[in-house]
Amino acid sequence: MLEQAQRFAHTVVEPSAAAWETERRFPRTALDAAARDGLCGLFVPTVQGGAGLTTVEAGEVLGVVAAADMAVAFSLVCHNNLAGALARRGSNYHRETYLDSLLNASSVGAFLLTEPGTGSDAAAITTRATETAAGWLLNGEKAWVTNGTDADVMNCYVQTQPGSGAKGIAAFLVEADQPGVDRLPAYEMLGAHATGTAGFGFTNVEVDRHQLFLEPGVAFKAALSAIDLARVMVAFMCCGMIENGLQLAVDRLRQRQAFDRPLADQQGLRWMLADVATDLRAARSLALEAAERVDAKAPDAAVASAHAKKFATRVALTSLSQCMQALGADGFRHPNPLPRHLAAAKMAHYLDGTTEIQNIVIARDLFN
């Protein structure tokens, strides 16, 4: 699968990533190409038509894509998370209705947990599901939805028993074209517009009982598990961006001269990039360890994921800045990928729990 990922990154993502960012649009055709290369079923077992990758293998694949553009890679994370959840947790009806369309990318998947007033405290969501004779009525608003501009099928987390916290949260599979679903405008951000980040409003959206995906008591735990997996993927993707930035910087220093000497002979620049290389190795080690803990369903998988994401996002921001400095002023210009990488590295500090949330998870383990 690494070979397919490299082909996808080099032939589809690299030539167009700068234009996607400049035009601030979701690369729908790239998702079609990803599906043709088998990249839309990374977590789906092979018997169900997917790639059946381990967390380690999927992380390596998405790191390759992120080296070309992290926004596209994170879009794939969210799409793949839904496909994998359907394969593992869905009923026959859910799989028969949605899985094939996600695998071939005729449908775009999304994960709806965050709300305008609820981010880190996910158990405090207020989007409401009210039971009726025929099913449920959904009302509320979701925010920061990756793939939101083009999503077709959404895993939407809602509260069924106000005041019950996590125990009352359920997940429904909602289709974007259902009456009462309002797709909100795409966000204007520092970067990473290829994620298609937007929001959704729900006004008396009628969903039948078949659309209940995860029942109360199960849904919130599933959401946390998906977030742990995504944190590991973010760590791998940060490593992919650092590796790309480091290679660009090394190549540039080999090619350019200043004061009658190759820039690569400047000790200050060499040592600066040596620090980047060390941070990259450390980040990769933490990402690999966390992925192995997730695959093993180890009790400390969540803590390992928090360590990996916290460290990788931290060093991505500083390392990519150093790589940009090594390229001189040209590193600041588009279509050089470093400006896109740097914006994505900052975005990574917020994805699937802020750095502060990772510290809560780690500190809770320390003082348990």
pLDDT tens digits along 187-220: 999 999 999 999 999 999 999 999 999 999 899 9
**What are the tens digits of pLDDT across the range 332-357?**
888 889 999 999 999 999 999 899 99
Phi, psi of 239 (to 5 degrees): -60, -40
Examine the pLDDT at 255 and tell me if it is beyond 80: no
- Residue 121: band (very low, low, confident or very high) from pLDDT cuts 50, 70, 90: confident
Residues near 308 by Cβ (< 8 Å), separated by ≥ 6? 231, 232, 235, 283, 286, 287, 289, 290
For residue 347, the model assigns a pLDDT of 96
More confident residue, 353 or 66: 66
Residues near 20 by Cβ (< 8 Å), separated by ≥ 6? 26, 27, 30, 69, 71, 72, 193, 194
For residue 319, the model assigns a pLDDT of 97
- Residue 331: band (very low, low, confident or very high) from pLDDT cuts 50, 70, 90: confident
Examine the pLDDT at 327 and tell me if it is beyond 90: no
pTM: 0.94
**For the chain, what is the mean pLDDT?**
94
Decide: 89 and 213 in contact? Cβ < 8 Å.
yes
**What are the tens digits of pLDDT across the range 20-45?**
999 999 999 999 999 999 999 999 99
More confident residue, 315 or 123: 315
